[in-house]
Each structure stands twice: as C-alpha cells, then as structure tokens.
Amino acid sequence: MANALYVKYREAALTGDVDWLNDNIKVALVDTADYTVNLATDEFLDDIPGGAIVATSANLASKTATNGVADAADVTFTAVSGDVSEALVIYKDTGTASTSRLIAYIDTATGLAVTPNGGDITVIWPSDAGRIFSL
C-alpha cells in the first residue's frame, strides 16, 4: 500500500467536519499484522483493532495548511514498547474512538518499519513540497 488519505476524511474535509489547524490531531503507530487498512470504508479510530495501535502521540503542534499542504512539528512517541510497527495513522482525536476520524495512512517513509525497544520514537515529517500530505 502507498501513503494515502482515507476516503471518508476527504469528504469530511470538503464539508468542514475536520479543521486541520484547530482540531486535536494525533498520530498512531500501527502494527499492520493486526490491521489491514481499507481506505474506502475505514472511517473512525475504532475501525483499527486496539491491539494494532502500538503508541499514540500527543496533539500535533505548529500545524500549517498552506496551498493545500498539511504540515506540523515533528512528533515523538515516548517510551514505546510493543509490536513492530509498519504504519502511521493520522486522525482527529475527539476523545472517543467511535468519532475520532481517520485522516491519513502512511506506510512508506524512512524509518518504517520500526521495532520499539522501550525508548522514544521520533517521526520527522518530510521537508519536501508535499510535507505530511496534500489535498
């Protein structure tokens, strides 16, 4: 699979249901042995089995949305242990998994897959023109 946006996120972005700059946006470190992405039908965080989520970030900071390109400060997952993780899932965090909308699935990036060893894992977003993702 290649990096992509969830279909239901595209709809939510167009209808104003997700505000990249003002909503709580987080990243989940995901074990793909326990989660098979379906970009067409997966909509909320509860579509990802709990056992597949190895770690969850704090809210993304310093978010920008310039010329349709989403960016944010790099993110660090602290003291991560658990399964090998092959993907990142970006989502809008509402505090409830059944309403926390999935935004982007990333499984092609430098450093993926990563094997947690109890230490921190830092995600450095690309500095190219596409940054985290673009609409």
Range 97-100 contact pairs with CB under 8 angstroms and sequence separation of 24 or more: 97/44, 97/45, 97/46, 98/44, 98/45, 98/46, 99/44, 100/44, 100/45, 100/46
In a domain, 39, yes or no: yes
In a domain, 25, yes or no: yes
Specify the pTM. 0.96
- Report the number of distinct structural domains present in the chain: 1
pLDDT band at 1 (very low <50, low <70, confident <90, very high): low
Beta strands in the chain (DSSP E): 4-5, 25-30, 53-56, 64-66, 69-71, 75-77, 87-92, 102-106, 121-123, 133-134
23-82 confidence digits (pLDDT tens): 999 999 999 999 999 999 999 999 999 999 999 999 999 999 999 999 999 999 999 999
Average pLDDT, the chain: 95
In a domain, 85, yes or no: yes
Q: Which domain holds residue 41?
A: 4-127
